[in-house]
Amino acid sequence: MSTEPEKIDRSIGTDDSNADEVVEIARALDRWYTLLGRQFGPLSRPQRRMLGLLSRKTPVRVGDLGEQLGLTTAGTTRMLDKLETLGYAVRSRATHSDQRQVFVMLTPTGEQALREAEAVFLGRVHSMLGVLSATERIALVHILRRLNNQTSVQQSPTDSTSR
């Protein structure tokens, strides 16, 4: 039974020459993601991502925010409800434009929560990367940049299912 998942894993877009590496990388990334945790100080992982997008100092349209996070309208609204209740974000409508447009901004309390969450997140990443040499960390930066650049090119602005 334990070999069945490997057969499934190997059948997804890989050829036999790199199937083992792809499976190993996927499992390692999944473990690393789990080890980073779900809570970063006062914020959950999704809340930290949302507040990070709001930290630009200019209001963000609710629809754009959901799209950038790969959330449905309902999911975006639920998360914003929670963040507003906590005092981390505030929604408003622009007075001179379409009143159907709802914008979101980070509050000072939200900025503080984001700073705390980022400190926890970066502390965990720093601790986990401690096993790598300086050369390995530099190589990892280059690899991740290349993967992120490639992913950005492959994703279309309307393709939220691949995020």
Mean pLDDT, 10 residues at a time, over the chain (163 residues)? 46 65 93 93 95 89 91 93 96 73 92 97 95 96 91 53 41
Helix, strand and coil in the chain, % to nearest 5: 60, 10, 30
- pLDDT of res. 4: 46
Q: How far is CA 61 from the centre of its chain?
A: 18
- pLDDT of res. 11: 52
- pLDDT of res. 154: 59
Instruction: Choose among 34, 48, 40, 31: nearest CA to 110.
Output: 48
- pLDDT of res. 40: 96
pTM: 0.75
- pLDDT of res. 16: 62
